[in-house]
Structure 1
Amino acid sequence: MRLPGSKSMTARALVLAALADGPGEIERPLRARDTRLMAAGLQALGVGVDTAADDRWLVTPAPLLGPARVDVGLAGTIMRFLPPVAGLAQGTVEFDGDPHARNRPLRPIVEALRSLGVSIDASPAGGLPLTVCGAGQVDGGEAVIDASGSSQFVSGLLLSAPRFAKGLVLRHEGPPVPSAPHLRMTTHMLRAAGARVDESVPDVWAVEPGALHGRTWVIEPDLSGAAPFFAAAMVTGGEVTLAGWPAESWQPVRTVADLLTEMGATVELTDAGLTVRGTGSLHGVTADLSDISELTPVIAALAALADGPSELRGVAHIRGHETDRIAALAAELTKVGAGVTEFPDGLRIEPRPLHATSFETYADHRMAHAAAVIGLSVPGIELTDVACTSKTLPEFPELWQGLVARS
């Protein structure tokens, strides 16, 4: 099967292309709610983003101007990547989104931007709705941030940092930053656009001021979006090949492959793509998912169907995602019959006989993926809302139906 491009890569490519010194192209972008809203946010700031073609978006940089309004939807990438861009604009830029977006953590990046000289009016909680009063430039310099709640706090600042007058030296102070592969994706893509980035000191990122260059970005298939389809092969003893997977990836494919293998799959990368095969059994695991936290709902679903208990830890920050994913998974897996112990940073899941139920998705695409995986093995699982998958993969219902029909 083929999947659309990576949400994370598409979002970063859009920002880097918008801040470049010349036109850029994005090949095989993800066309979903999050990335459409990102493109619309940049357009509101004056950037030319032509999304007419499905397989190639054209980005034409232009002076960033307010007044503008940016709808972030429920996307962490937009609410954390675009306020630094708005600081470079001349004029006011207002940000707001879906009701739950106001609950997603944003204060660390707001405070970091204020320390760099950006004027921001935020809610009493330090988040949405907020207004960036852009002065046409950001002085930059040194900033300290606690990014333990999301690696996007770091990525959002780094992506705009080459355009800051003094660049940026950003220091993280606090518990470990989650989702390290996403930080590596950010720094790799910055360098590919011509930025000079030094990350040789742990928890410190130094970005020199300078131009970002327009270029063609080729977006990889989305590894997080592929997770439920790989899980389907494991649950059914079948086989799924994700076509178009690159030999060298900016996504944490080895980490994912190792985990799926430990749970009972075989994983192989060939010229045909990335293939996951089920072996007829699923094993419980003890795993730190901090680097691949987006996969937690699907891994939790597999754990509920495994032959032994699992303990999934290191993901306290996913309580601040589209919903509190730890609490949501605990509630829904318990409802379906699994034994679940909830920890501040994860879950212990003990497989038990599962039964039909209505599985609440909490407007969260990853929760819908988890429910679909369980539904392959347990008759009568009903998703309260599958339309929420449009956030990152609008084609999910059709792709899933086609996969199940073929099997």
Structure 2
Amino acid sequence: MNMIRDIRKAVRLGKKLVDNRRAHMSLTQKARMQPPLEPGRFKIAVYFADEAVNMYQIRQWYEPLVELAKTWPVVILSRGSTAALTLFDESPLPVTYVRTVAALEKTIAKQDIRIVFYVNQNAKNFQMFRYGQRWHVFINHGESDKMYMTTNQFKAYDYSLIAGDAARARLEKVLWDYDFDRRAIPIGRPQADHYSGSLPYTPDERTVVLYSPTWEGDRAAAAYGSIASHGVGLVRRLLATGRHRIIYRPHPRSGVVNNLYGQANREIISLLEEANKADPTAQHVYDDGPDIGWQIAAADVAISDISAMIYDRLATGKPLMVTRPVSEKAKIDDDGYLSACEWLEVDEIDEVDQQIDRLLHDPEAIARIDFWSQRYFGDTTPGASTRRFHAAVEHLMEEWERHAEIHREDLADRVPDSPH
């Protein structure tokens, strides 16, 4: 038995080595195909030290950064090989692969980088912090009430671009001796102004409901998934009304731990397929595509589990319900939006259509979602967050100029002459 196990392990290691070699060869080839960066051109860099598994963290910033680059040229500095491969294929912004610190240093020396953005807390961020004479700015990859949002690592950055009042209040509870007025700049969620993807259906009189459950979780405290408890009954009820169009976007890991979730997930997908065959005008959607945004913006009502999808939806200021976990061990934050959200209990599934009607027409429910949307993101009217994002960058550039004037002699040999 030990010999068989060792053979299997050796085969897996051999396959991994072959895959890594192929990936390295492909990356080398693609890197050589990239046009050289124009010296002194870029004022802003996005430092991404992760691999492709966390590409979602930078993808959501593509469109806001493309818009920003019209004023301040932006380049992505990729440290991970698998991420670089993906970025070379899909990024709408210039990308350079800086695997080693030496490569990073060489690139920095040739550019006029004044602001460095960070979308996560990767340990390799520390390697970039060594470069002074520029602002290191944490922009994060979402807004939520998770512990991740209250880490003392915020202090490592010169500035942080936060969503709004809720984020500041959350940080004020845990960060000591932190200058919030200067270092924490609220911008809302500019991604909400640039939701990607096109509608896979033709809008009509049907009420569009986005059901975006998370997976079952790998521990009792995080058992937030509703597919097995709420999902099948919820979908059956909405299909039966004939008045609703369902967009079903489950977490890609649904069913990896508990097969009951996998079975329920497959049943929901089958129900949608059967409903579309019975009535092609229904155009229900099972969505497992890479684009995220159109679903959140297009839905009249969203039903989500406890996950980041709650806060993405809040940024639109549109009606939202949260499924109440059936497990008593699931940890629920008593502060923030979850203290006052519209809960969908498992024993209310047969009335979910009535709940939806109430959310769409009840003045108190509408006012409540508006309050919490403002609390987390400020003004959510189209374009407002983008304007605040650009204003924050303009402020940081002005601060850079002010400090550069003070330390002009120290900057003499910093970068080549910039054409911009």
Q: What TM-score results when the alignment is normalised by the length of structure 1?
A: 0.29
> Quick one: higher RCO (CA 8 Å, sep 6+), 1 or 2?
2
Judging by fraction of residues, say which structure has more strand.
1
Q: Which has the higher helix share?
A: 2
- Structure whose CA Rg is larger: 2
